[in-house]
Chains A and B, each alone.
Chain A
Amino acid sequence: MSDAARMESFIGLSQALTGISRSVLAPDLDPIDLKSTYLQTLDQQIGPPATDALLQLYVDLKQQGLSDEQIAQTILEPPLPPPPAGIDPVAQAAQARSIMKMWLLGSWYMPTLPGQAEDLSGTVISANAYTGGLAWTIAQAHPMGYSELSFGYWATPSPPLPDGIPVQQTPPPQVVVPSAQTQPSAGGDHA
């Protein structure tokens, strides 16, 4: 697989696993380029052959015409029939989960096999990976220690999620106190 094809497969696989659109994972303008950071991390952590096998699995399933949902299900909940020699679908499922955790939390968590204790502490991949963790976005918040918002934003409900993060949102509840509360300049008349 060429480098470009590898990257294309990695983004497609990541989208299938996380449910988050490639427009968020790999935007056209992408100076921080976490996709490359994460593919490189995967190569370093599980080795290029295992990475290639996982990417090839995605390509094969995609070519079978499976939807993202079906691809993710097949990889994460592998069917029981014995796999081809040398491929361990259970290990691949664990690797796929580590990919999901990278995107959501910006850390590498060791893939673990059934019966092993899960890696719960992980290793932060980079400062950009921490601040790019999508769990914060999904929470309609920002990484703790990295906000690009301005004074007083916290007084009102969060804006809706960006396109590409598929949340069926309930509309924000009505603001529960007089609107003056939500204006920074009027803050404090909280009786």
Chain B
Amino acid sequence: MPDEKTYDVVIVGAGIAGAIVAERLGRARKRVLILEAGPGIPPNRNDYMQSFYMASAKVVESPYPPPVEDPETPLDPALQNTPRPTTLTLSTQKMNGVPLWRDPKRSYFLYKDGSLPFGSTYERVAGGTTWHWVGTCLRLLPTDFKERSDYGVGVDWPITYEDLMPWYDEAEKVIGVAGDQATEDILSQQTGIPYGIGHQFPMRGIPPSYLDQTLSQAVDGTTFDNLPVLVSPTPQGRNSQPYQNRRVCEGNTNCTPICPIQAKYDSTVTLGDALQTGFVDLQPQSVATRLAVDGDGRIDHVEYIQYQKPNSREGAVTKTARGTLYVLAAHAVETPKILLNSATDCLPNGVANSSDQVGRNLMDHTTYLAWALMPEGRPVYPYRGPISTSGIESLRTGPFRSQRAAFRIEIGNEGWNWPTGDPYTTTLDLINGTNNGALNPEHHRLYGPALVNKLNDLLTREFRLAFLVEQEPDPACRVTLSQTYTDHLGIPRPEINYNLTEYTRLGFQAADRAARQIFASAGAQPFTTCDKHNPGTFELDGTPYNYYGAGHVLGTYRMGASRAASVVDRLQRSWDHDNLFLIGGGVFPTVGTANPTLTIAALSCWAAQSILSALPATA
């Protein structure tokens, strides 16, 4: 056995949750080890940018390792040390009649029979998936914490908004949220969020896009289901002024897949601060496999495989890491994977799983995408600015929540890039005489000035809305371990069972209605279509809907007030093992309609304090 350093705290996962806890513990002079499955912090982002520039399909995962292969020559997840789900496998493409998401040689996730595909993906690199978040920093609403009590749906959280409020303030400072007093006032009025006396965002807001302003003028003052429709600027984790030695946003319109200048916060910032304390070690290429439990029910060590080269087993060794406390922050799919993989004769359900809730209630903000063209002569100049600068938050709650799922509406500044792949699709349509993007119904084949004119006219009028629909928790939506398939290190891969309840589906029906109404208010022509060949398709009342992932993977080790019905307590501590904390999106009992990163960060700030309290005082 090589020399093993003993740490105060061992953290698994160098994403935003792990980074925040590590930084706070390091500042308090606690010795911390972070095990990261993927590569460490790159010296700069040039390699990632080059991968992005050269990718034919500029999907969210395109900049990051391991490289996303062309679907023609995919890299089998069984041959990767740190495979991850990819959006490319959710395309309409089939190979030998099998959809890619159903093919274990393409898809990291395995699926139960009858499952729908899970729409969201994540990265396994230092910094985690904050490499490609949009930066939206909304808070959950007070009522989101008590949905069972208020609407008879889902479950209540064991904490209230008021409990979390000071930690939201902290998280806004960690991330560097840009927002104005006016933004705060609007959100308070429209959604009932109390921001607290004296609250201020760390920096002034990001200006709303020209599209935002156009839509605001068109829809403000209208109502939907007796609620006001109001466009409001979004608090965002991108710089309106220099902050944390990072630059000001230049509107590269590339928050996903990658901000070229790091004007948008990502957790390598906090990770760097953690390392600078001198008390934190970050060990990349170290994949946690299982937690070992001692006779007293405490975690004894983390077992992990350290590999030397990506996708190679050569020189890979199994090691152990020991600490006083353990924190799993590996992600809402990877954390339950580790817990379930830790099953022994004594703990047949796995670690931290006496409730049988580990892996259950997998949720997302299932997304309804709607797109339209502004009237001729009314360009809105998309493909400019941050991906999103405003939204419609005024429909996030109301009495309707006893009947159907709520949503928030994100206004997109990137034209039809998401729904149709523009500007590529329309450019190719106009040159080839095809109509894949629906803007060339007469199948014109254009060239010369006519081509340029038509392209300019169409591309400058495109916009889309993304409805982030709250997914109702369902214990049958679940991450388990594949009995058959492993990654290259021999670790069982996640097997998913995913579906949407009628409550969630009814949210889509309402979203579709709201989209039509908003487009009509703006005089815009809707182009939303449902492609039944898209794997993300469900039906409600005979009508098919496409759904997309928001990247918000949540709910697989829920917090709760009772050890029988939840995995962690209100402090995010395992009910079963008192030296184990589970943090990140998995603790969400319900998902509300706020993009979750700010809440994950707030909960992580709180967890750091709980962990500090649980450690013996430093000698």
Contact = CB atoms under 8 A, between A and B. Distances in A.
Interface of A: 16-20, 68-69, 72-73, 76-77, 97, 100-101, 104-105, 107, 109, 118, 120-124, 126-127, 130-131, 135-136, 138-142, 144-158, 161, 165-170, 172-173, 175-177, 181-185, 187-191
B453 A167 contact: yes
B208 A147 contact: no
A151 B452 contact: no
B432 interface: yes
B414 A188 contact: no
A161 B455 CA distance: 13
Interface in B219-251: 231-233, 240, 248-251
Contact of B423 (A136, A145, A146, A158): A136
Given A18-B452, A140-B460, A142-B253, A190 B381 contact: no
Nearest to B450: A19
Nearest to B384: A154
B252 A188 contact: no
B182 A188 contact: yes
A166 B452 CA distance: 7
Contacts of B251: 147, 149, 151-154
A166 B382 CA distance: 20
A176 B160 CA distance: 40
Given A151-B240, A154-B251, A188-B205, A138 B455 contact: yes
A12 to B, nearest CB: 13
A9 B179 CA distance: 54
Contacts of A169: 456
Contact of B56 (A121, A176, A177): A121
Contact of B431 (A100, A157, A173): A100
B374 to A, nearest CB: 10
Interface stretch (B47-55, B123-131, B299-307, B560-568): B47-55
Residue of A17, A150, A181, A183 contacting most chain B CB atoms (<10 Å): A181
Contacts of B55: 124
B549 interface: no
Given A18-B447, A166-B449, A145 B54 contact: no
Measured as residues with beta carbon below 8 angstroms from the partner, the interface class of chain B is 35 or more
B452 A167 contact: yes
Interface stretch (B210-218, B275-283, B470-478, B488-496): B210-218
Contacts, number: 224
B270 interface: no
A190 B230 CA distance: 10
A178 to B, nearest CB: 9
B272 interface: no
B186 interface: yes
B378 to A, nearest CB: 6
8 contacts: A19-B447, A105-B427, A120-B436, A139-B423, A144-B417, A152-B251, A167-B453, A190-B186
Given A154-B389, A167-B453, A190 B231 contact: yes
A97 B434 CA distance: 13
Given A145-B260, A184-B240, A191 B383 contact: no
A124 B381 contact: no
Contacts of B262: none
B240 A190 contact: no
B292 interface: no
Interface of B: 49-50, 52-58, 70, 179-183, 185-186, 204-210, 213-214, 216-217, 231-233, 240, 248-254, 257-258, 260, 377-379, 381-386, 389-390, 413-415, 417, 423-425, 427-428, 431-432, 434, 436, 445, 447-453, 455-456, 459-460
Nearest to A175: B213
Residue of B216, B436, B452 contacting most chain A CB atoms (<10 Å): B452
A72 B448 contact: yes
A97 B432 CA distance: 8
B53 A188 contact: no
Given A105-B423, A185-B204, 14 more contacts: A19-B451, A73-B447, A100-B431, A118-B432, A135-B424, A139-B459, A141-B253, A145-B252, A152-B251, A176-B213, A187-B205, A187-B208, A188-B181, A190-B233
Residue of B252, B417, B448 contacting most chain A CB atoms (<10 Å): B448
A144 to B, nearest CB: 5
Contacts of B56: 107, 121-124
B180 A187 contact: yes
Contacts of A141: 253, 381-384, 459
A118 B207 contact: no
A120 B70 CA distance: 13
Contact of B250 (A130, A151, A161): A151
A16 B450 CA distance: 12
A104 to B, nearest CB: 5
B254 A177 contact: no
